[in-house]
Amino acid sequence: MRRVQGDARIGVFTGGLPRGCSLCYTGAKIVVFATGLCRDSCYYCPVSRARMWSDQMYVDEEPAETLADILLEAYRIGASGASITGGDPLARPGRVLRIIRGLKAEFGDDFHIHLYTSGRLATRRMLEELYSAGLDEIRFHPTSPSMMEKVRIAVESTGMDVGVEVPAIPGREGDLVELARRLEEMGAEFLNLNEMEVSEANIEAVSRRGFRVSANGVAVEGSRETALRVVEWAAKNLERLRVHFCPAGFKDYVQTRNRLLRKARGIAHLYEEPSREGTLLRGEVLLKQASAQTYRLVGEGLLVPLGGRMYATHPEFLDEIVRLLPPGTIEEAAIAEYHPTLSRVLVSRRRVA
């Protein structure tokens, strides 16, 4: 009998974590959304409507056009790896191969890359090419039993870590146990069981099938318990397959937050302070009109012109700036909080004067 480790809030596993997951825990991977194209249409697909079915690439929260956009984002967050996702990234195999080769050439062999795919479009040749390009780990989401053949081919003809990642659908415990048994027989490395997520993209379809939203508001009721029972079963009955339950909330609370913290630190201007939540705080001063005193403060670097009558300062200096400017010159002063994207999406604004 193997040990069951972890905790139901951040993840439970037996046999060790897949390598791609251990780097995600620290937010050290960029997420490359290679394309929104996909030949499947799973009712539980959590990909947002804005991204799904469009051939636009994204890296983390930023739209990306070229390999350079992806490399820059990896530098911004100090990434140690990448997760390539979609849609089905294999709908654009040439693009994916260029991304893998480019990341490995820039950051070296230790930069860990994993890729998700349904496997529908995977061929032996494509899998071998992905492996030679440097792909370290592949995660299949087989949407029909026949796609398990692709998993077998990847295990037999490449040296990648090969695993399967599926949602833990309540009531499908027997199928998941059977899947785990087959993966062990094939020599696959891992089975990841995601808590079945609820998002604006799938809530209607999920509810129509009679599933209820759990108390945390981000997952389907009963999915967590289903996954935990499969991990327990695998600990007792399997010898080597790593089986891992990934809670839906974990992505937001730990993985995304850690990645945003890295991004906030990487892109903060001198007048911005990264918060503990991974947002950026700045002082903003809207003037009625600029005065000689404003120009002096700008020259000293205390106020930075943002355009028009708006100026920024580090939140620590805001009270001091309000005190230094001549009475009647400020229309409004506030602490503003932004999501750490290049276009800075406003999260909140607290007026102080």
Determine if 76 is a binding residue for ligand SF4 (CB under 6 A): no
Where is 106: in which H helix or E strand? Answer: helix 93-107
In degrees and rounded to multiples of 5, residue 158 shows phi and psi of: -135, 170
Determine if 40 is a binding residue for ligand SF4 (CB under 6 A): yes
Determine if 169 is a binding residue for ligand SF4 (CB under 6 A): no
Rounded to a whole number of angstroms, the minimum distance from the CB of residue 38 to ligand SF4 is 3
Q: Which of 14, 35, 83, 143 binds ligand SF4 (CB under 6 A)?
A: 143
Only segment of 25-33, 81-89, 122-130, 182-190 that touches ligand SF4 (CB under 6 A): 81-89
Only segment of 86-94, 170-178, 184-192, 243-251 that touches ligand SF4 (CB under 6 A): 86-94
Rounded to a whole number of angstroms, the minimum distance from the CB of residue 118 to ligand SF4 is 4
Rounded to a whole number of angstroms, the minimum distance from the CB of residue 183 to ligand SF4 is 18
Determine if 141 is a binding residue for ligand SF4 (CB under 6 A): yes
Rounded to a whole number of angstroms, the minimum distance from the CB of residue 303 to ligand SF4 is 47
Q: For residues 3 and 14, is the Cβ–Cβ distance under 8 A?
A: yes
Q: Which of 47, 127, 176, 261 binds ligand SF4 (CB under 6 A)?
A: 47
* Residue 60 backbone zone (phi > 0: left; psi -120 to 50: alpha; other: beta): left
Helix 124-133 × helix 148-157 angle, to 10°: 50
Determine if 88 is a binding residue for ligand SF4 (CB under 6 A): yes
Q: For residues 227 and 195, is the Cβ–Cβ distance under 8 A?
A: yes
- The rounded distance, in Å, linking the Cα atoms of 279 and 257 is 9
Entry field: residues in the chain: 353
Determine if 144 is a binding residue for ligand SF4 (CB under 6 A): no
Mention every residue, 6+ apart, whose C-beta is less than 8 A from residue 142. Answer: 118, 119, 148, 150, 151, 164, 166
Question: Around Cβ 313, how many Cβ atoms within 10 Å?
Answer: 22
Q: At residue 74, what is the residue type? A: A
Rounded to a whole number of angstroms, the minimum distance from the CB of residue 120 to ligand SF4 is 8
Q: Which of 11, 87, 170, 274 binds ligand SF4 (CB under 6 A)?
A: 87
Instruction: Give Cα 308 distance to the centre of its chain.
Output: 36
Q: Which of 41, 54, 56, 66 binds ligand SF4 (CB under 6 A)?
A: 41
Sign of dihedral through CA atoms 165, 171, 175, 178?
positive
Determine if 193 is a binding residue for ligand SF4 (CB under 6 A): no
Q: For residues 244 and 191, is the Cβ–Cβ distance under 8 A?
A: yes
Q: Which of 23, 30, 34, 38 binds ligand SF4 (CB under 6 A)?
A: 38
Nearer to ligand SF4, 66 or 123 (CB): 123
Determine if 114 is a binding residue for ligand SF4 (CB under 6 A): no
> Between vectors from CA 339 to CA 320 and to CA 194, what angle results, nearest 5°?
145
Instruction: Give Cα 25 distance to the centre of its chain.
Output: 10
Only segment of 42-50, 58-66, 187-195, 243-251 that touches ligand SF4 (CB under 6 A): 42-50
Nearer to ligand SF4, 167 or 283 (CB): 167
Nearer to ligand SF4, 143 or 223 (CB): 143
Rounded to a whole number of angstroms, the minimum distance from the CB of residue 20 to ligand SF4 is 16
Determine if 255 is a binding residue for ligand SF4 (CB under 6 A): no
Determine if 258 is a binding residue for ligand SF4 (CB under 6 A): no
**30: which strand partners?**
82
Give counts: helices (H), strands (E), the chain.
12, 17
Give contact residues for ligand SF4 (rule: CB under 6 A): 38, 40-42, 45, 47, 86-88, 118, 141, 143
